[in-house]
Amino acid sequence: MSSTKKSALRKMSKLWKTVRSLPWLHWFFGATCVLAGVAVFLWGGELIRGNERATGVIVTVFSILAGFLIAVMTLLGDQSMLPGSWRFASVYKTRIRAKLTRQKWLFCLYLVTLAIIFVSSLLGEKHQEVLVWLERVYFGLATTAFTLSFRLPWTLMAIQMDRLDAVVESRRAGSPKIEKN
């Protein structure tokens, strides 16, 4: 590959990192996910009404996603994965806290959705008027949570790339070793 192509790829990579780090992009993605959930709440009620298979799929998928999310949060919070000194860790503390907070709220959304499904299954056919609204609510929340979950692979990759960048910087700075704690 020629040096001009490599240079162009580096510039594109930096540009993409900048665009990806903009807060408006996160807000736009989040708002789009919430709007999808609201649309499903308003117009998708007939798709979920009495559909036990769909409810079972939601429960299964969210149980798996909740486990995966706990793994991501564990990786985020593991201080032994941060190379360098305590100064380095303090610099990344704000970024890690922000990522953990986003993952925490997504996990809570999973749990609220599962709790509403549980309550609706307890009500059964006894309270039809309440059950109709509960099904719409959990279908809308499930849509929002599921679409928000599409960012999980990128979050995991960003975590690992941050750590790799930190190792490279630590070695470039001439540190004799990378501390584990």
Q: What is the pLDDT along the chain (181 residues), one digit of tens a residue?
A: 667 766 766 766 766 665 566 577 778 888 899 999 999 999 988 888 888 898 899 999 888 888 888 887 777 666 665 555 566 667 667 777 777 788 888 889 999 999 999 999 888 778 888 888 999 999 999 999 999 988 888 877 877 777 777 777 777 777 555 555 4
Nearest in space to 40 (alpha carbons), one of 60, 54, 26, 59: 54
Quote the pLDDT of residue 133: 92
Task: Determine the residue type at 71.
Answer: A
Quote the pLDDT of residue 146: 92
Cα 76 versus chain centre, distance: 12
Quote the pLDDT of residue 19: 56
Quote the pLDDT of residue 18: 59
Quote the pLDDT of residue 68: 82
Quote the pLDDT of residue 15: 61
